[in-house]
Structure 1
Amino acid sequence: MSEAPEPPPEAKLIRLARKAKGLSPEEAAPLTRGLIGASRWRQIENGYAVRSGERIPTTATPKVLARMAFVVDVTPDRLRGIQCDEAAEILDEIIYQERGQKPAQPAPEPAPEPADAQLRHLLDLWMQLSPVERRAAIGVLEEMVSESTETVSKPDQGLERRTG
């Protein structure tokens, strides 16, 4: 008989999670809703099946892996962490259908707010000023801050008065 191949990372993860839950392959397999039996569960965990006395590497399909992961409470993120993205997507959907939990979505990047863009533009302009121009600008800003609350809340009016 040939030497046993090393089980793939997903097989190791499933075995670890199954053992942590205190389940045997015979107990876990029926929880896949008849998708696989105990012997197939063992083959997937071992990373091989025996055919004609030879150990043939074997893996689970993404659908089977997702169902096995669901049975032993492996999260989609853990599957993604070992590059089982398709199985993770299927598992997200299984969790949604079975438990009513929406799949975890990465938070979208917030769109830059106009104020951020304006601030960047102002800083770019600031960097183009000479030291003398910067000191003059600081003086104007200090005057604006020291003026009444109305002028501070409406800085455009204050600038118009000075420049107009």
Structure 2
Amino acid sequence: MNRDTRPEPPLEAVLIKKALKRNRISGREAARRAGISDARWRQIVGGYQTVSGSHIPVRAPDETLARMAHVAGVTAGELRQADREAAAEALEELAAPAAAADSTDAYASDPHLAAITALLESLSPEARNEVLRRVGHLTPAQVEKERGEQRRHIS
């Protein structure tokens, strides 16, 4: 293969790249969420890896592609259209527990939210309410109501 010729990325790689852009997720963040290296993510999405100056086509293993698709927001149907049936099946298995979870908890696996939640839980109720008030979660009336209830429990 010509050293200057890069293979065209496969359809599934194009789908993932478009989905990342649509969902405003960086490749680095997506790779972290999928549990693969940033370099490997770029190889798969680019459709090639460079070996001794030559561009070698890359095809992601089904399980890896399923994790990438899950993070990016590519559907099993889209993977099937890209002729990646086994990856589509792996994606369906991967997504099955998420479908069973409460759909209102879309950020359940976000480590940043988990850290913030843990920090909030470590605060006193008064401090927690003040933080929530400052970020607009509780109105001043709700804060006052909470304080009143806390005073009654203390008395």
TM range (shorter): 0.5 to 0.7
Asked if 1:74 is matched to 2:74, the reply is yes
- State the match for 2:28 in structure 1: 26
Query: Which letter maps to 2:27?
Result: P
Cα distance between partner residues in 2 of 1:82 and 1:54: 26
Superposition pairs of residues 120-159 of structure 1, within 5 angstroms: none
Cα distance between partner residues in 1 of 2:58 and 2:4: 14
Task: Give the TM-score normalised by the residue count of structure 1.
Answer: 0.58
Question: How far 1:98 moved relative to its partner?
Answer: 3.1
Q: Percent identity?
A: 43
* Long gaps (5+) in structure 1: 102-164
Cα distance between partner residues in 1 of 2:11 and 2:75: 14
- State the match for 2:13 in structure 1: 11
- State the match for 1:61 in structure 2: 61
Question: How far 1:39 moved relative to its partner?
Answer: 1.0
Superposition pairs of residues 40-119 of structure 1, within 5 angstroms: 40-100=40-100
Question: How far 1:100 moved relative to its partner?
Answer: 1.8
Query: Which letter maps to 2:54?
Result: E
Query: Which letter maps to 1:16?
Result: K
* Long gaps (5+) in structure 2: 102-155
**What is the count of residue pairs matched by the alignment?**
99
Query: Which letter maps to 1:31?
Result: R
Query: Which letter maps to 2:18?
Result: L
CA RMSD across the alignment: 1.3
Deviations 1:90-122 (A, max 9, x none): 000001123327xxxxxxxxxxxxxxxxxxxxx
Larger Rg over CA atoms? 1
Higher relative contact order (CA 8 A, sep 6+): 2
Cα distance between partner residues in 2 of 1:66 and 1:100: 18
- Residue 5 of structure 2 aligns to a residue whose secondary structure is coil
